Amino acid sequence: MKITPAFIRNELKQVKDPEIPTISIVDLGIVTGIEVSEKNAVHITLTPTFAGCPALRMMEDMVKERLGKIENLGEITVKTSFETTWTTDLISDEGHAAIKQHGLAPPMRNCAHISMEILEATSCPYCDSNDTKMKSPFGPTLCRSLHYCNNCKQAFEGFKPV
């Protein structure tokens, strides 16, 4: 059986971000290359979300583990490369929904010129109010910021736009 990149991509949708288990690494936008050779050897390229993200190596291993379960697959290699720069704009619409489902505010789109003022306007993931306040651009993981919703009086975290 000939394995296609689309098939592999679909399999990788089952690999979830260990820190936000509702989102797949495909919807997160970190899978930047899927190559399948004549002999069904698979080469996956991932791009780091944050340079210091400790989940990166774990995700490489999770990719290998998932693909390792597929029959008829040749050698599996996973490489991390900065060739494609990850930004939060690479997160799919489905990914945005998954982030919200996890209780985090999804990142605003097209935030190449991010500022404190832009972050202040993050929508609350619980009540969708824009009447929120950013408490800190740094949260419990590198990709999160801390906010407070004045409307539903709830502290929440946001996925930082980068």
Partner 1 sequence: MNNIDALKELLYKMADDQLIIGHRNSEWNGLGPILEEDIAFSSMAQDKMGQSEHLYNLLNQLGEADADTVAFTRNAPQFHCSHLVELPIGGYDFSLIRHFLFDFAEYLRFEALKTSAYQPLAQVAKKFFGEVKYHTMHANTWVYQLGHGNEESNSKMQESLNFAWNYALGMFEPGPAEEMLINENIFIGEEALQAKWLEVVIPLLEKSNLVIPEQSSWAPIYGGRIGNHTAHLQPLLSEMTEVYSIDPSADW
The one among 52, 69, 71, 155 contacting partner 1 by CB under 8 A? 52
Bridge partner list, 33: 45
126 is a site residue for partner 1 (CB under 8 A): no
* 101 versus 136: smaller Cβ distance to partner 1: 136
16 is a site residue for partner 1 (CB under 8 A): no
Task: DSSP letter for 108, please.
Answer: P
* 8 versus 29: smaller Cβ distance to partner 1: 29
> What is the smallest separation between the CB atom of 53 and partner 1, expressed in angstroms?
7
> What is the smallest separation between the CB atom of 37 and partner 1, expressed in angstroms?
25
Residues 6+ apart with CB under 8 A from 101: 22
Binding positions for partner 1, 62-121, rule CB under 8 A? 81-83, 85-87, 114-116
Closest CA to 28 of 98, 85, 80, 82: 98
Closest CA to 25 of 71, 92, 89, 78: 92
